[in-house]
Structure 1
């Protein structure tokens, strides 16, 4: 993980720069001015991972500038990370400094925290983990009041839960999420809530059905499902699918059918190119899709999936890469126009930004 250039005094200027960049990217499509959703200036990042750098008998949290893996930046705290991570960092370090069992061959530490106050720590080792390690780790987890995961090659030992518990507020309702260790979660919780609220409002109250691609752990699925008759959602990651199913059950949402397929495979299924056993018992023709929601990886939608979304009257698109978003919009612009646009500052002090658009059929 490279170190961002943290300077709260520059926040307003860097956010305006991102806004102008998004406006320029979407100008060819006559997009309206973006709604801008700010981040907290510090303690906004709920996830963090650190390599450990050894000096003598001591190990220190370390990060590196992009492209330089040989010059460590040693850290005692990390202002962009959540207050919970900053509270845990010195206590965890003191624990491994005091215990050879915990520190031996330890090379990486990962923190996952939530707005709800939960925390999960992953310790990564270049050695097998044994009963002595587990006994020490159990004491440490109890002392820090966290769940703890130990990882070594091909092995994982879990103390407590293998997921963190989150609670997010959308339109006056609290949605509860299990966020699995090692799976993707939105790093900026406060901005994530704003994204969910914007998507909820942009979708609106509907009397038809929603297709969702790349649903992850159900982050958007839960609130959006309350706006439509029913949802067909897809995700390829098995751990994310399992988390999404648990999250749907935990929140009492029963109008979602979730299928473990890639977006490309679902495109083939809807085009009747070939059947899929995972769709057995699901009548695709029973759905009356009025909208499609997509939150693809940085590469954006592949051309065939992009063509699939053209079928729908409304395309709600969340993007972590506005360049590929613009390329996808270019493919769709002859049939759809951008009617809403938003900038979500998930990653302050970096060039990365999250954007959202609503495209509606011309």
Structure 2
């Protein structure tokens, strides 16, 4: 986000422009009018990362405009970030005046939750020794947070290296471990709206769900209540470990999680090659009725699109509406859009999150 673009008075206009852009991108596919889910105007972002910038004897939180690493935007607070981050910023700044904590500190990262937990990562251009650990322990206790210290070849944890989010979807509570350094949804309030929409769009099913790009299980946990069983895949080791912990913490036993990329799973389902990581899993025993995908900005590759075509229903969450439209163009001869939505995860930017439910045209047997 360009900091100069932050202006809550323009929010409604910016959101209307995104809605029109999504409407135009999906118009060739006769999409219904998108459901629109707004963001809070302030304090919506649960993650923030700042460089430290020195002016004389003082150091400040700093951000930079895209493409400009030499002209800092100095900050005392950050109104788009959670209230917890804003409360911690001045207290942490006071603490780095301590030479042990502040010496060669160059970057600070905050990770918070809607439920109030916080993790701070401090990044250094020097080795961290016992005196740093003692000072960091006092600071963590004082702030009521966990701390991670990072320098070249070092990663020291004070407390835990994750936060735990608590979310309620359709009357059921879920806890999510969100590890330091792993991807999590930045806008917690809009993430909740996405989860509710996906839960409703999937509906109650008597068949099985295949999920690609499952991350830490953000969607996997609530969607598992809507189907008989779930096979979920993710390639990031950190996210897989978090997802496995989340399954255990929530007592969910109808999900099998496999560390495979979408491309690898496509090869396995097509019988191109076997994978040791699928040992003990009988793919033929699944009765998949829906595939759920939340791909990176590049969207689904051609082969994964062709795999998705075999499913009666495709539930697709996208962080890039252009690649979403490209994927739908590949699928439109067999599937139609029955629902679509705009989730404003990133206010005051051109970025948007969107969702579509694609259903197979007519009655066609899933091959």
For residues 82-116 of structure 1, the C-alpha deviation after alignment (integer angstroms, 9 at most, x for no partner) is 0000000000000002x111111111000000000
Other-structure match for 1:58: 58
Other-structure match for 2:356: 357
Q: Is the 8 A contact 1:211 1:231 kept in 2?
A: yes
Q: How many residues align?
A: 361
What are the residue-to-residue correspondences of 1:1-362 with 2, within 5 Å? 3=3, 5-97=5-97, 99-362=98-361
- Show structure 1 runs of 5+ residues with no match: none
Mapped to 2, the partners of 1:45 and 1:191 lie a distance apart of 10
- Partner SS, residue 60 of structure 2: strand
- Partner SS, residue 226 of structure 1: helix
Mapped to 2, the partners of 1:256 and 1:153 lie a distance apart of 38
Mapped to 1, the partners of 2:154 and 2:323 lie a distance apart of 37
TM-score normalized by structure 1? 0.99
Mapped to 1, the partners of 2:359 and 2:153 lie a distance apart of 47
Q: Is the 8 A contact 2:114 2:166 kept in 1?
A: yes
CA shift, 1:126, in A, is 1.1
CA shift, 1:27, in A, is 0.3
Mapped to 2, the partners of 1:194 and 1:4 lie a distance apart of 27
Q: Is the 8 A contact 2:60 2:75 kept in 1?
A: yes
Q: Is the 8 A contact 1:121 1:147 kept in 2?
A: yes
Q: Is the 8 A contact 2:2 2:349 kept in 1?
A: no
CA shift, 1:202, in A, is 0.2
CA shift, 1:31, in A, is 0.3
Mapped to 1, the partners of 2:310 and 2:188 lie a distance apart of 33
Distance 1:96 1:118, change over 3 A: same
Moved over 2 A (4+): 1-4
Mapped to 1, the partners of 2:3 and 2:217 lie a distance apart of 29
Mapped to 2, the partners of 1:103 and 1:311 lie a distance apart of 56
Mapped to 2, the partners of 1:48 and 1:154 lie a distance apart of 23
CA RMSD between the two structures: 0.8
Other-structure match for 2:364: none
- Partner SS, residue 211 of structure 1: strand
Mapped to 1, the partners of 2:91 and 2:154 lie a distance apart of 25
- Partner SS, residue 226 of structure 2: coil
Mapped to 1, the partners of 2:202 and 2:152 lie a distance apart of 44
- Show structure 2 runs of 5+ residues with no match: 362-367
Mapped to 1, the partners of 2:276 and 2:333 lie a distance apart of 35
Mapped to 1, the partners of 2:132 and 2:311 lie a distance apart of 54
CA shift, 1:6, in A, is 1.1
Distance 1:309 1:188, change over 3 A: same
TM-score normalized by structure 2? 0.97
* Greater shift in the superposed pair: 57-66 or 220-229: 57-66
Q: Is the 8 A contact 1:4 1:350 kept in 2?
A: no
For residues 211-246 of structure 1, the C-alpha deviation after alignment (integer angstroms, 9 at most, x for no partner) is 000000000000000000000000000010010011
- Partner SS, residue 114 of structure 2: coil
Q: Is the 8 A contact 1:4 1:349 kept in 2?
A: no
CA shift, 1:16, in A, is 0.4
Other-structure match for 2:365: none
- Partner SS, residue 31 of structure 1: coil
CA shift, 1:203, in A, is 0.2
For residues 288-344 of structure 1, the C-alpha deviation after alignment (integer angstroms, 9 at most, x for no partner) is 000000000001011111111001000000000000000000000000000000000
Mapped to 1, the partners of 2:2 and 2:160 lie a distance apart of 28
